[in-house]
Amino acid sequence: MEEHQNPMKRLKIAKVVVNMAVGASGEKLAKAAQVLEQLTGQKPSFRRAKKTIKEFGIKKGESIACVVTLTKNRAVEFLKRALAAVDFKIKKSSFDEFGNFSFGVKEHISLPGVKYDPALGIFGFDVCVTIERPGYRVMRRRRKRSSVGKGHRVTREEGMKFVEEVLGVKIT
């Protein structure tokens, strides 16, 4: 596929969502939120349990995870650091049919420039990246909302090619 002349066909990273699921509320979740804020430079929001699971000691409505959504330059900067933690390698199965991809980092201290703090502990997190084109606003706007046409959607192959070229990722 040659370089697109049409500026509406160019791909971009729309957002990066960083999720730290702890599975318990209280002190452990507060520490995870503190770690997430240090990593991203943004205050996390908390996610609640959808149902009660007695085996894990989780009650419905209890906060069990924290999430940060990064956009624009912050998203790209954090994504480069997170990819360095996984050696710039992503599995082919990590991509969905719309070119978006996700990967996990087992320990937050594997990110470059992050030091271990015994008071906080070690947490893993998931990174979900959304790739889109200009014009995707039509599905989110308030007035005259519409769906993005089939020909304008990002495909899995386009997403993989974009990640390889722009971020220098090796897809295995």
Domain ranges of the chain: 9-171
What is the pTM for the complete model shown? Answer: 0.90
Q: What is the pLDDT of residues 14-25, one digit of tens each?
A: 999 999 999 888
Q: Residue 95 pairs with which residues in a beta bridge?
A: 101
Tokens of 4: 């697109």
C-alpha distances out from residue 8 to 33, 132, 137, 142, 149, Å: 37, 10, 12, 21, 13
pLDDT at 163 over 80: yes
Tokens of 93: 């199965």
Distance CA 112, CA 130 (A): 23
Report the pLDDT value the prediction gives residue 23, as an integer from 0 to 100.
Answer: 86
Distance CA 148, CA 14 (A): 15
Mean pLDDT, to the nearest integer, of 60-88?
95
On whether the 9-171 domain is CATH 3.30.1440.10, my answer is: yes
Confidence band for 4, pLDDT divided at 50, 70 and 90? low
